[in-house]
Amino acid sequence: MIDDALLSAAQVSKAWPFEEARKLLKRYPDGKPGGEPVLFETGYGPSGLPHIGTFQEVLRTTLVRRAYEILTGGAPTRLVAFSDDMDGLRKVPDNIENKGLLTAYLGHPLTRIPDPFGEYESFAHHNNAMLRDFLDRYGFDYEFVSSSEMYDAGRFDAALKGVLRHYQAIMDIMLPTLRAERAATYSPVLPISEKTHQVLQVPIEVVDAEAGIIRFDDHGDRVEQSILGGKSKLQWKVDWAMRWVALGVDYEMCGKDLTDSVRESGKIARALGGRPPEGMIYELFLDENGEKISKSKGNGLTIEQWLTYGSEESLGLFLYREPKSAKSLHAGIIPKTVDEYWQFREKIPAQPIEQQLGNPAWHLLRANGYHGGDGDSLAVTYALLLNLVGVLGAGATREQVWSYLGNYVPNADPAAHPELDKLVTTALAYNRDFIAPTLQRRKPQGSEAAALAALDTMLAERESGASAEELQNLVYEIGKDPAFGFEQLRDWFKALYETLLGSSQGPRMGSFIALYGIDNTRKLIAEALA
């Protein structure tokens, strides 16, 4: 049940999932006819290993789905994750080992190509399994649909006959969008050769639309062949439109690079007697060099790479934010995103419902069935955890980190802090791969040595249980003392980071000293002064 306060707030919320969901309210003011569930679809092309771009559509679409359910008081919905695994392999991905095996199968449907990893019955099955594994781990409610299974089982046969019946109308839509050379050989239907088993890009002649029979040239022979039961697939834009109509898709978003496809597939869907879905066109992710992320190039982060260095929730936050703005996607953004997620999550209990609907963490939690909560928080920020691990070095262990957390975290037991324990593991990996190779402590310069010596003296006078705030005040006191000549406090902090931590930026030093321990911090100072 949706309470009245939530419904009222949702009706006027400017959070993008609600704005998208309101498109569906206009599509079906009285609900979908017959009480049928509104169908949300996401698409995936398994020609390469899944990256975050493939996962984000499922997450973002789920957010819109949940918003629609709130706005309608719980109207039925479905989410289909569709894999276009009947597509022919056009190019061997750069990030695949054993490329020679795939090269021999260029042009073959992806589900009819051996798995180069030797784990599944085909290359597409391998990539589909990777995507489904993560979607399952994240807890998404979805139905996985394979294009090959739909074609092979004849479940698209009626729609394929419709394509043949409306063949000329589809050609009239597509031919003006093509270059002359491409237009000369274009066909909405791609037969699969019984000689080579490849998906053929050849012109066809419709022989009998109701029987699904076409005529075409197959490597020198003029043949007649059925397009039904997995003996063909459709050209991309036609395939997309056919599936919208055949499945009854009501909502599907896509990247900016498919803007033209949305327009043309929409026209084809109408020619087939259907209605194109509502949707959102989002901006693409860029790598750290500002280039578009590509599955075949492998120049983006994989899902597994993000989870090696950050949390599932932080990935969700990155994907939630500003979907219509291009964003750089690289490992360097992970630590900040982890901490920002928890900052948003901690705010939820104190926020009125109107503000909660604008809080990304509320939407991310709601995607997996969250209906309220106590605003869990982390006892230690990820940034501070990374500073600790950085000081401990690339060889630090989970047990060693937890021994230091005992200085700072009440009941410092991994079992009592499972979210923090996950981040300990990711912090160790992030430090090993990105921080440790770059850390380099410099010698104190000018009056910095005297300031460090003064800090050491003050720390020696403090008890081991001094609070982070008390220790921070000591640091402030020295930085503000004219005797040490720091024009601004940030100059003192930068000196601490560079001489003690080996980095140009760092945490609140009071928190770090409390976490690392007064005695251990004094050892760092002694090393710097030596």
Whether the predicted pLDDT of 374 surpasses 60 = no
User: Quick check: helix, strand or coil at residue 386?
Assistant: helix
Structure token pair of residue 507: 């945490």
| pLDDT > 70: percent of the chain | 96
Q: In terms of Cα–Cα distance, which of 192, 50, 199 is closest to 123?
A: 50
CB 234 within 8 A of CB 163: yes
Whether the predicted pLDDT of 300 surpasses 70 = no
Whether the predicted pLDDT of 372 surpasses 60 = no
Q: Which residues pair with 199 in a beta bridge?
A: 192
Whether the predicted pLDDT of 295 surpasses 70 = no
Q: What is the pLDDT of residue 285?
A: 86
Mean pLDDT in residue range 186-207? 95
Whether the predicted pLDDT of 395 surpasses 80 = yes
Mean pLDDT in residue range 231-239? 96
Q: What is the pLDDT of residue 294?
A: 64
At 364, which amino acid appears?
L
Structure token pair of residue 49: 């290993």
Q: What is the pLDDT of residue 117?
A: 86
| pLDDT > 90: percent of the chain | 76
Maximum C-alpha span of the chain: 94
CB 91 within 8 A of CB 181: no
CA distances from 454 to 363, 446, 461, 485 (A): 49, 14, 11, 13
* DSSP code string of 81-126: EEE-TTSB--S--TT-S-HHHHHTTTTSBGGGS--TTSSSSSHHHH
Question: What is the pTM assigned to this prediction?
Answer: 0.89
Distance separating the N- and C-terminal Cα atoms of the chain: 66
**How does pLDDT run across 137-180, given as a tens digit for each residue?**
888 899 999 999 999 999 999 999 999 999 999 999 999 999 99
At 373, which amino acid appears?
G
CB 231 within 8 A of CB 204: no
Cβ-based neighbours of 413, under 8 Å, separated by 6 or more: none
Whether the predicted pLDDT of 1 surpasses 70 = no
Lowest mean pLDDT among 101-105, 414-418, 432-436: 101-105
Structure token pair of residue 282: 């989002």
Mean pLDDT in residue range 241-252? 98
Cβ-based neighbours of 68, under 8 Å, separated by 6 or more: 21, 24, 25, 38, 75, 77
Hey, what domains does the chain have and what are their CATH numbers? 4-168+236-282 (3.40.50.620), 285-362 (no CATH), 378-434 (no CATH), 440-530 (1.10.10.350)
At 167, which amino acid appears?
Y
The full 3-state SS of 56-86, as one line of letters, equals HHHHHHHHHHHHHHHHCCCCCEEEEEEECCC
Per-residue pLDDT band for 116 (boundaries 50, 70, 90) equals confident
CB 282 within 8 A of CB 255: yes
In angstroms, rounded to a whole number, what is the distance separating the alpha carbons of residues 278 and 7?
A: 22
Per-residue pLDDT band for 498 (boundaries 50, 70, 90) equals very high
User: Quick check: helix, strand or coil at residue 381?
Assistant: coil
Backbone dihedral region for residue 212 (phi beyond 0: left; psi -120 to 50: alpha; all else: beta) = left
Q: What is the pLDDT of residue 103?
A: 87
Whether the predicted pLDDT of 514 surpasses 70 = yes
* DSSP code string of 455-512: HHHHHHTS-TT--HHHHHHHHHHHHH-GGG--SSHHHHHHHHIIIIISSS----HHHH
